[in-house]
Amino acid sequence: MKVAIIGAGNMGGAIARGLCKGTIIAPKDIVLSNRTVAKLDIIKSQHPAIGITCNNREAARDADMIILAVKPWLIKEVIDEVRPSCEQIVVSVAAGIDCDSIDKMLPQQGNTIFRLIPNTAISLQESLTLISSHNATAEQEHYMLDMFNEMGVAMLIPEKQMSAATSMTSSGIAYALKYIQAAMQAGVEMGIYPHNAMKMVAQSVKGAAEIILQNDTHPSVEIDKVCTPGGYTIKGINTLESHGFTTAVIEAIKSSCS
């Protein structure tokens, strides 16, 4: 499988790095394209086998899969430029553009299309990547899941759920980071050096996530385990609730659902 990635911005660059670290696609079979060379040179220095170019059409010409990692308003322009053939799999990372809309932009209808929403942790192979498909076979869907499961956890979902799920995962990583930032600030106020506070909180959040993912448990069950009667943790939990923590998180996720 030869893959062309159009766009070397935050997401395109992260996908390129993640794929290069995986085993499904060899770096030599990846071509990354970008309008300017600076970002390409950085990724090339990290992964020397990857191909780079400033010519989108050249990048896509021999690819089996074309990943469009550009801003939504550039999708039509880039599709018109690269003109995917009917045999090429088209993967869009553009937020808010559904598979039917992409299908209508293509030179011919009927291509296999995937809509992909990772988050920036994909460069560390720790993304939650959402995938929906259009005109795809079960084998193609399985291949996509294998590709992106190497970069964290990939989930195939109906496209109608994509907006809500994106709010929880792609936007959600920012909300998790906001908690880390706030907890870190509390630690600094109590006399802990910023770097140490950041590391403490980040590892605690990572540990909480691993408990959920590895034990297939529920947050309420795990919270109960650390909230001893009359203890400090339950006082903190109740303080969070008195300041509207749960409501704020729910409303933030709902408000970011387009």
What are the pLDDT digits (tens) for 142-178? 999 999 999 999 999 999 999 999 899 888 889 999 9
Q: Do residue 158 and residue 55 come from a single domain?
A: yes
Domain residues for the domain of 127 are 3-162
The answer to whether the CB of 91 falls within 8 A of the CB of 68 is yes
Q: For all residues of the chain together, what is the average pLDDT?
A: 94
- What's 120's domain CATH number? 3.40.50.720
Is 112 in the same domain as 182?
A: no
- Specify whether 14 is located in the same domain as 83: yes
Final residue in a domain of this structure, among 118, 136, 162: 162
Residue where one domain finishes, among candidates 162, 184, 214: 162
| pLDDT given at position 178 | 96
**Residue 87 counted as domain residue:** yes
The whole-model pTM stands at: 0.85
**Cα separation, 14 vs 36, whole angstroms:** 17
Domain count for the chain, please give it.
2
Domain of 202: which CATH number?
1.10.3730.10
pLDDT given for residue 119 in this prediction: 84
Contact 4, 69 (CB under 8 A): no
What confidence tens digit (pLDDT) does each residue in 133-149 have?
999 999 999 999 999 99
Give the model's pLDDT for residue 10. 87
* Residues 49, 27 contacting (CB under 8 angstroms): yes
Gap between the Cα atoms of 22 and 147, Å rounded: 8
